[in-house]
Amino acid sequence: MKLTKKKWLIIGLIVIVVGVSAAWVLNKKDKVQYFSQPVERGDVRSVVEATGTISAVTTVQVGSQVSGTISKLYVDFNSRVKKGQVLAELDQSLLRGALLSAEADLANARANLVAAQAAVNKAKATALQARADYQRTTGLAQAGVMSLQQLDAAKATADTSDAAVAAADAQVVQAQAQVQQRQAAVTVAQTNLNYTVIHAPVEGVVVARNIDIGQTVAASLQAPTLFIIAQDLSKMQVYTATDESDVGMIKTNQPVSFKVDAFPKDTFQGRVDQIRMNATTVQNVVTYTTVVDFDNPDQKLFPGMTAYVTIPVGAATNVLKVPNGALRYKPDMPATEIRALYQKYGLAPADSSTQRAAAGQPAAGQPAQGAQPAQGAQPVAGGQGQTAAPGQGQGRGQGQGGGRRQAGQGGDQPGGAAAPQPREQRPDIAILWKYHADTKQLEPVRVRTGITDHTYTEVAQVLKGNLNEKDQVVVGAANLSKTTQPGASPLGGGGRPPGR
């Protein structure tokens, strides 16, 4: 009887030890809490977002071609001016004196011309007398009355008189040239005097005035800018810096909407007028200028305002859409367990996306547009999407707005410049992890994605598995059995970097 009690006591102790050990092992197993969001049905709009500056269609800089001191000022900021209207005047004292001096030189040159013409007449008369004397001397010399020496002297006098006439004619031509030169000097002086009066070259609004009365204007190698006139503020433009990855999706005459800080509740409309080919590169980031035309009938918007531009490039209506976080999520499981789940739900043999997930690499997190449907794939029931044209639906991760890109990503080069990295080709096939709350199990679903608005992505087709509206898809997970580091994300991300 004692042996039996002792035996049962040992057996009881063994059972207790086994139970405690089993409980300890079970408690040691990781406990994972999944965070999920429902699959929704609605509209998805793919847009390009960028910032730009509002400017007038035509802006004229009014300068001065002469130097001087501002003596009169007739307009101010926001003044409306007509073409030819006087804007300002410079002091005319020096230039008016230069004009009077040039006019005096002109009068002197004209007087010299008159004197030269008189000298010509005198030389002609002298030459006529000398020629007559020579003819008489020739007759007398033939008659033997006068000597040959006298005949030679008369001939020399006649030739000298003819040369004097030619010289007088040349002096007349010279005097005429001096008159023309002095006339040109008068014209220049008068033009410089006229330049002291600043006129408006176009009709518009003075948006900038850079001078005051008494200020000295120095026009040397470059004409100083005195005023800036916007020709017509009822029609304006937005100069938008567009990322090179978005330029291919933007077409002329596309509708555009934008907002400004001055009127946060108002949305303004416009159209794409031009995509300029002149690229701007800043820290390896290439942007192109997209010009947007819009009407400003009330003239509420001013030049220089910052515009937050939204250019729609694609739309899908009444389609299934999932959060972008669900496309980026990958279970923290061994590769063998992930492959087992794929085989369980008929996703084997794995394609490129499932191979990446099974190898521990992130699955395709963003959609691409324009790919052909896979053979045997069934479209999502009820989808009436109208997606963008091929190449217009390539989405980006949440938090990367269109037209904006972080500069300097990638490895560092000597001198602090960031090395450009080749952009990854993101396929439009992705794996979603559907969460069953009753069994607390995950089910992989292979889908083809459509366009994205950087928060939700269209599910264009379900390639393998079932996905319906209100199904829960996992967007993150937290391991409850592990000690959470300070600042760690409950969605499984790392903690904040030290020093922040």
- Residue carrying the six token digits 């933007």: 250
Q: Please say if the pLDDT value at position 422 is more than 80.
A: no
Q: How would you classify the pairing of strands 378-379 and 472-479?
A: unpaired
Percent of the chain with pLDDT over 90: 54
User: Looking at residue 497, what is its pLDDT?
Assistant: 38
From CA 433, how far away is CA 412, in angstroms rounded? 36
Q: Please say if the pLDDT value at position 491 is more than 50.
A: no
- Please state the rounded mean pLDDT for residues 25-32: 59
Least confident of 127-136, 229-238, 292-301: 127-136
From CA 309, how far away is CA 257, in angstroms rounded? 6
- Please state the rounded mean pLDDT for residues 120-147: 84
Do the beta carbons of residue 61 and residue 235 sit within 8 Å? Answer: no
Identify the H or E element spanning 15. Answer: helix 2-28
Comparing C-alpha atoms, which of 135, 132, 126 is closest to residue 163?
126
Q: Give me the DSSP letters along 107-145.
A: HHHHHHHHHHHHHHHHHHHHHHHHHHHHHHHHHHHHHTS
- Residue carrying the six token digits 């903690």: 495
Residue-wise pLDDT for 35-49, tens only, equals 999 999 999 999 999
From CA 367, how far away is CA 71, in angstroms rounded? 66
From CA 491, how far away is CA 474, in angstroms rounded? 10
Confidence of residue 17 (pLDDT cuts 50, 70, 90): confident
Q: Please say if the pLDDT value at position 381 is more than 80.
A: no
From CA 262, how far away is CA 305, in angstroms rounded? 8
Top pLDDT among 152 and 204 is at 204
- Please state the rounded mean pLDDT for residues 426-439: 86
Confidence of residue 366 (pLDDT cuts 50, 70, 90): very low
Token couple for 107: 């009068």
**pTM of the predicted model as reported, rounded to 2 decimal places:** 0.61
From CA 347, how far away is CA 241, in angstroms rounded? 43
CB atoms within 10 A of CB 369: 25
Question: Strand ranges (DSSP E) for 372-471?
Answer: 378-379, 429-436, 441-452, 456-464
Q: Please say if the pLDDT value at position 283 is more than 80.
A: yes
From CA 171, how far away is CA 119, in angstroms rounded? 9
Confidence of residue 79 (pLDDT cuts 50, 70, 90): very high
Residue-wise pLDDT for 296-354, tens only, equals 999 999 999 999 999 999 889 999 999 999 999 999 888 998 888 898 888 865 454 44
Confidence of residue 424 (pLDDT cuts 50, 70, 90): very low
